[in-house]
Amino acid sequence: MSHHIDMEDHNDAEPVLLSKHAKNLLRFLNLLPARMASHDSTRSTIVFFAVCGLDVLNSLHLVPPQMRQDIIDWIYGGLVVPRDHEKNCGGFMGCRAMVPKSEDAEILECMRKYQWGHLAMTYTSLAVLVTLGDDLSRLDRKSIVAGVAAVQKPEGSFSACIDGSEDDMRFVYCAATICYMLDYWGDVDKETMFQFITRSLRYDYGFSQELEGEAHGGTTFCALAALHLSGQLHRLDATTVERMKRWLVFRQMDGFQGRPNKPVDTCYSFWIGASLCILDGFELTDYARNREFILSTQDKLIGGFAKWPQASPDPFHTYLGLCGLAFTGEPGLSPVNPSLNMSMAAYAHLQHLHEQWRSADGRGNEDLSHNDGKPHETQGEC
């Protein structure tokens, strides 16, 4: 039977080095190692892992007030607001390479053609702003959601951006998180999104990245979270849900794997764990064995978690490893909202913003489950 970890009953259990993990993540907000140069175009995702990881560690106080404001301002520096004659390309960019420091109008206009929002970068940027307590008042929410609707494909999936990108379940998830966080769905077609998701359900009851693909743990999370955030999870019948739980539970070896016959990996403690939380099935897992695997990837010298034991830690696996531990009630960690992949404290701030927006719109604080994709508050919590 699964159980929450009680450190008093497990005196011989390896401790989670909370302070070292916090210092490790804080480093990534100050300096990136040369080996991460190839990630420059997705820098906002690194900020997401670091900031949200510190939040889960209850260590956001380590970020000084001025640095916190600098991060917020840097995030807003990547905001794209389309002009009247331009395509619907609102959202956030992942880095500032397309924002030259120049006063030359011709150069600025030329670079403008390459500035557009990216769904993954928009999701992570919004999550960072919410986690840092920003009120999102600098955003044109409708413009951003118009940019989301503009990249939706006829079959219901989404491209990452307006030009030249893949379209698959990852961006379905990002689209759902953006619309949910902004409390506005605009012209996003939730019905075709639902049809794309359900057509991606494979014979073994995991979800594939795209139609006719192989079921995958990360993709299954994206599908289930998108259904939850869009208020459509209830459309899955009970038999299908139970078979999904079975597929997910069978991904546990000690830690979790992403696909059958693949090695376990720290990040799947989140992808699989969060999926089971959304389906109210996380208690079916073996908490202790999962914890043991995650801690086998813990770097005792510099902090952080790695993909596998003896591998180098990175902010991606560090953050998702911490979330996986948070689902088991690990002491010292903040509870995590599985669908949005942020702390429950950040989620509470987001709910407060939603209440303010609805009041300003004259909508009050009514439950918008049926017309605005607002999931019931009790769903999807571990």
The structural domains of the chain, with segments of one domain joined by +, span 18-361
Rounded average pLDDT over 208-213: 88
Buried b (16+ CB within 10 A) or exposed e, 284-301: ebbbeebbebbbbbbbee
pLDDT value, residue 85: 77
pLDDT band at 11 (very low <50, low <70, confident <90, very high): low
pLDDT digit string (tens) for 266-290?
999 999 999 999 999 999 999 999 9
Question: Burial of 48 by CB count in 10 Å (0-12 exposed, 13-18 middle, 19+ buried)?
Answer: buried
| Token representation of residue 336 | 């995590």
CB within 8 A of 100, min separation 6: which ones?
107, 108, 111
- The CATH code belonging to domain 18-361 is 1.50.10.20
Max Cα distance, the chain (Å): 68
pLDDT value, residue 6: 53
pLDDT band at 372 (very low <50, low <70, confident <90, very high): very low
| Token representation of residue 215 | 């079921």
pLDDT value, residue 377: 45
pLDDT value, residue 365: 61
pLDDT value, residue 134: 98
Rounded average pLDDT over 365-375: 45
CB atoms within 10 A of CB 326: 23
pLDDT digit string (tens) for 233-245?
999 999 999 999 9
Is 272:283 a contact under the CB 8 Å cutoff? no
Whether residue 253 has pLDDT greater than 60: yes
pLDDT digit string (tens) for 104-128?
888 878 877 788 899 999 999 999 9
pLDDT value, residue 366: 53
Least confident span in 4-8, 125-129, 305-309, 331-335: 4-8
* Predicted model pTM: 0.93
